Amino acid sequence: MAKRKKPDRPADTANPLLNTHIADAGDIIEQSIVDTLEINYMPYAMSVILSRAIPEIDGFKPSHRKLLYTMYKMNLLSGGRTKSANIVGQTMRLNPHGDASIYETMVRLARGNESLLCPFVDSKGNFGKAYSRDMHYAAPRYTEAKLEPVCGELFGEIDKNTVDFVDNYDSTMKEPTLLPVTFPTILANVSLGIAVGMASSICSFNLRELCATTVALIRDQKHEVIDTLPAPDFIGGGTILYDREQMEEIYRTGRGSFKVRAKYKYDKAFNCIDVFEIPPTTTCEAIIDKIIERIKAGSLKEITDIRDETDKNGLKITIDLKRGTDPDKLMAKLYKITPLEDAFSCNFNVLISGHPQVLGVRDILIEWIRFRGRSVFRRISFDLSKAQDKLHLLEGLQKILLDIDKAIAIIRKTEEESEVVPNLMIGFGIDQTQAEYVAEIKLRHLNREYILKRLKDIEDLEAAIAEMKSTLGDKAKLRRVIIKELEAVSKKYGQDRRSDLLATHAIEDEAEEESVPDYPVTVFFTRDGYFKKITPQSLRMSSEQKLKEGDALILQQETTNNRDLLFFTDRMQVYKAKLSDFADSKASVLGDYIPAKLDMEEGETTVFCAVTDDRYAGYVLFLFQNGKAAKVTLSSYATKANRKKLVKSYSDKAELACMMQLPQDTEVVIETTAGRYLLLDTAMISPKTTKDTQGVACFSLKRGNRISVVRPYVPGEFVKPGRYKSKTLPTMGALLSAEDAMKKTNVTLEGFE
């Protein structure tokens, strides 16, 4: 670290305050950027990661834990509701980050907001809705809240030393570092958080299935999780597009995504569709806005009106249809182009002992089982200690009760109160704790019934202590305790699954292609990547094509509007598009710039365009400058899924000389820089289904030579075509004959006349 002083300035006699010296004021301090980040930025980043955004193994972020613990201390688990403003104010003793953020946290935890599959706050009043962007929650002075009964599973044993407690921010009270939850809350609710350099996105699972899976894992760690926990479950329901392999990958890695689509029903009487469940990642306003946008663009002509009819009965989006519209086909279309089908991205990032870790479902549950095992062990140890203390007192009482008259005599004969306990200790051979307990017994309790009850308590305590010691020393018994509690939670709070499952292969079977108007068009594609389609009527009005300066046409083909397009690029990739996605154009415009239209990579350019249909018949012929040729079936570029980009579309082992689309085998003329020609029948090249095949050698080129021109053969081009053909490949080719050379010269000269 280096310092450089500014030059001294003369004293200002008019204002003595300006002459006051401040240490290091005006110094320029040079500091490494790495040191600056470490000193100034890292503490903030770690605070956000550890204390704000990432949940811990008990399923809660610090803000959630502080709020719920405050409500528990306010007796809101068994008592009545209180004003939300009161709860917010009390929570600020643990969380000083502002009342607005505390209330927002409580809103999300509330049953009325419908954010969580297992809500923790019993709310009264307007708490907004998670599925609505515009339905805001009321101010805290208007709403009331208490804890849901399920919170008994969070706090039922918190006073039994099951978790650690730390000081709050001003050391005026204690707060728990974790909550001793009796079921895996970490996976029972959706948890989203964005930290610094990392994030967390955990989906919710059905509580009944979650408890059953945890029990199965406790009994057998090799249990296949997906067998008892098939898929996530959401408070808003919806239909999960289910792919077992995809879900297994998410369960294994903790990363991935799956799609959720809305549920609907068709009202035949009013000819409308009612959407009543939507994906958890969107809102009803976002869906309506997108549908309206599509209606204005003209791509949803089947819809006459759309409106939000959400009321106290729940979410409802109504879509009015034109007469004759098939509702199922329309919904299949809406799923593709609107948020009625959306993806939930999973990133199971959890804090384990203060360290963020991305874990799969099995690993999270195993970590929770370990955490729960420690909590149960500490609880039983606490109960054992209390039972031993009580037994110790009763054992002292037992000795006294054997000769009550002696105890009474000792107390009566003791002159000073301070001597009562020592005299009892001496008289009966008990310790101070036992003697003090005996001394405090009321006179009314010195009867036969009381004595018999206390002796029975000793027997029960001894049995309980023996059982607790046995449990603490036997891991199998500890596991049975956890299993019993999980089964009780499942029975008491478990609910049926809300989200349905729909196999993805069933969707592919039921999905129908959108009807595309079919009519004749002519397509044009230029060397610089401009594309346009023109109808015959427009082409008759003006056939002169406008091109960018220096550009040239490389494709002009008559076809129909329902064809597919394959755009090959200089990076050995293919971008797929439908001709119907391009608007009808005119000869007087440049057309669509394909790299921008198809969102190609920066600097990527197109080299060829192939027009095909759903059969993908024919071949693509690749000629490389090293003399090799590859014939790839066009069907190799067909995909069942609607993939927009295919990588490794052709070989990158040599520089491409030419690319041609062949509906069927034909003859092509290949010319080299050495002036040699080959009339090649493409049937001599075996077709391949491997797109990036290197092909077979057609030309035996000398060093420095390469293929320069490839073109379709025009009958009559050569006087003796057989001269340039070869029965075997590779070949050296042939030089032009004198007749063909003269013919070529005449053709060239005719171009200058």
Cis peptide bond N-terminal to 663, omega within 30: no
- The residue type of 41 is Y
Separation between Cα atoms, residue 684 and residue 701, nearest integer Å: 19
What is the Rg, in whole angstroms, of the alpha carbon atoms belonging to the chain?
40
- Give residue 292's region: left, alpha or beta (phi > 0; psi -120 to 50): alpha
Separation between Cα atoms, residue 401 and residue 452, nearest integer Å: 10
Q: CB within 8 A of 115, min separation 6: which ones?
A: 108, 109, 130, 190, 235
Tally the C-alpha atoms within 13 A of residue 459's C-alpha that lie toward its C-beta: 6
Which of the 8 DSSP states describes residue 699? B
Whether 264 is catalytic is no
SS3 543: coil
CB burial of residue 588 (10 Å; 0-12, 13-18, 19+): exposed
Three-class SS of 520-537: EEEEEEECCCEEEEECHH
| CA neighbor of 604 nearest in space, from 594, 615, 590 | 594
Structure tokens belonging to residue 105: 């946290």
Residue of 41, 44, 131, 142 with catalytic role = 142
Q: CB within 8 A of 666, min separation 6: which ones?
A: 681, 682, 712, 713
b/e burial code for range 262-293 (CB count within 10 A of at least 16 → b): bbbebeeeeebbbbbbbbbbbbbebbbebbee
Q: CB within 8 A of 412, min separation 6: which ones?
A: none
| CA neighbor of 397 nearest in space, from 351, 440, 348, 335 | 440
What spatial distance separates the first Cα and last Cα of the chain, rounded to whole Å?
80
Separation between Cα atoms, residue 686 and residue 701, nearest integer Å: 21
DSSP states of 441-497: --GGG-SHHHHHHHHHHHHHHHHHHHHHHHHHT-HHHHHHHHHHHHHHHHHHH----
Q: CB within 8 A of 676, min separation 6: which ones?
A: 699, 732, 733, 734, 735
Structural element, H or E, at residue 568: strand 564-569
Structure tokens belonging to residue 640: 């069942």
Tally the C-alpha atoms within 13 A of residue 704's C-alpha that lie toward its C-beta: 2
**Is residue 345 within 8 Å of 257, Cβ to Cβ?**
yes
β-strand 687-688 against 628-633: which pairing, if any? Answer: parallel
Query: Which residue spans within 222-340 are E strands per DSSP?
Result: 239-242, 255-261, 263-267, 272-277, 303-308, 317-321
Crossing angle of helices 420-428 and 361-401, rounded to 10°: 90
Which of the 8 DSSP states describes residue 587? T
Q: Which residues are catalytic?
A: 142
